[in-house]
Amino acid sequence: MPLFILVRLFTVLPVLFGVSVFVFLLVHLAPGDVTSTLTGPMATPEARDAIRVKLGLDKPLVVQYAIWFGHLLEGDFGTSWVHRRSVIEMVLPKFLNTAILALSAALFAYIIGFLAGIFAAARRYSVTDRVVMGGTLVAGSTPLYWLGLVLVFLFALKWRLLPATGMVSVVDGGGFVDVLRHLILPAVTSSLPSGAIVARTTRATMLEVLGQNYIRVARAKGVPVRTILRKHALRNALPPIVTVAGMELGYLLGGVVFVEVVFAWPGIGNQLYASIIGRDIPTVQGAVLLIAMAFVLINLAADVLNVYIEPRTRAAVTGHRP
């Protein structure tokens, strides 16, 4: 394995350790008696103490962390206080649903953002450019939960074209087309901010590249604009766009919580929300841990990918020239 990937992998380990500490401390940040979820409000102090001992909450913090972390390494995320089930068994399938939603949204954002950015850059200061740039500003200020509801009103309630909530139909549901129909509205909603960022990045880098001397030379030689855009500009504008696109996939995992709640998409964001409302702390921890791990790994993958596209950045990662 190339050195830069190894180096970058090692930097992930302390970050993941930090993540585990943060997630562990969540239990202790919660105000009041965390055991009240399990015992109910009418429990005797003795019953509360018994639960406390059973959960190991009477031990010193460091010992608690060591035990919890040991279980984590074995893939044991604890037991849900509400459903009395293994957290990992509950959360993992939900995470797959979120992955379906986030990847579709990312794909949509990349395509729309990339095309919009190129169009805007190719016709700088034109009406198209202004509309695209104005659109990205509005997109960046739009609350996703609100956009989701507006789309539900238009496409599900008014025009009855698409289902409003869920992932599969109750009757005869579960087929590919059925899931796809349920996927469209939430995916479009979550793609909005990322699409805007990709569009702005694409436009900015394209404009930068188009101002370079070799583009001027190509134009002077009489190369058609279309060929200049495709062969000279795009290829050189790609690395920063790919970096941003990779990071955006990670950020999608944050915004997706609101979208999943609005559309009742059975993903990890919806699960996290339900667990927060139900004060089911082990499940909150499991969901947060899983999202954070995915976030860290996506950023890692984006870095590695970027190094392959743009070998010059290798030096920045390893501190040595390649």
Partner 1 sequence: MTAELAGRAELPVAPRRTSGPIARLRHGWRAYAKDKAAVAALLLLVVVALASLFAPWISPHDPVEAVANRNAPPGSEGLLLGSDGDGRDVLSRLLWGGRVSLLVGVLPTVLAMLISLAIGVVVGCFRGWVDQIVMRALDMFFAFPLVLVAIVVAGILEPGLLTIIVAIVVALVPYITRLVRTTTLSVSGQAYVEAARAGGADSFAILTRYVLPNTLPPVIVYTTTLIGMMMVLGSSLSFLGLGVQPPTADWGLMVAEGRTVLKKAPHVTLFPGLVIIVVALCFGFIGDGLRDALDPRARRR
Which of 29, 73, 127, 171: binder of partner 1 (CB under 8 A)? 29
Residue with token string 């855009």: 229
Q: How far is the CB of 199 from partner 1 (least distance, A)?
A: 13
Does 292 help bind partner 1 (rule: CB under 8 A)? yes
Q: How far is the CB of 27 from partner 1 (least distance, A)?
A: 9
CA–CA distance, 109 with 188 (Å, rounded to integer): 8
Which of 288, 290, 302, 317: binder of partner 1 (CB under 8 A)? 288
Does 261 help bind partner 1 (rule: CB under 8 A)? yes
Does 295 help bind partner 1 (rule: CB under 8 A)? yes
- Looking at the chain, the number of H-run helices and the number of E-run strands are 14, 0
Which of 127, 220, 277, 321: binder of partner 1 (CB under 8 A)? 277
Is the CB of 94 or the CB of 218 nearer to partner 1? Answer: 94
Does 19 help bind partner 1 (rule: CB under 8 A)? yes
Per CB under 8 A, which region of 54-62, 99-107, 233-241, 246-254 contacts partner 1? 246-254
Is the CB of 20 or the CB of 97 nearer to partner 1? Answer: 20
Residue 177 tokens, joined: 């087309």
CA–CA distance, 89 with 76 (Å, rounded to integer): 10
Look at residues 278, 270, 287 and name the one whose alpha carbon lies nearest to residue 165. Answer: 270
Is the CB of 146 or the CB of 214 nearer to partner 1? Answer: 146
Which of 163, 240, 246, 255: binder of partner 1 (CB under 8 A)? 255
CB neighbours of 109 closer than 8 A, spacing ≥ 6?
191, 192, 194, 195, 198, 248, 252
Q: How many positions of this chain bind partner 1 (CB under 8 A)?
A: 47
For 245, counting Cβ atoms within 10 Å of its Cβ (0-12 exposed, 13-18 middle, 19+ buried), the class is buried
DSSP labels for 133-190? HHHHHHHHHS-HHHHHHHHIIIIIIIS--S--S-SS-TTT--SHHHHHHHHHHHHHHH
Per CB under 8 A, which region of 18-26, 61-69, 232-240, 305-313 contacts partner 1? 18-26
Note whether 265 and 163 are within 8 A (CB).
Answer: no
Site residues (vs partner 1, CB under 8 A): 14-16, 18-19, 21-22, 26, 29-31, 137-138, 140-147, 149-150, 152-153, 157, 204, 207, 250-251, 253-255, 257-258, 261-262, 272-273, 276-277, 284, 288, 291-292, 295-296
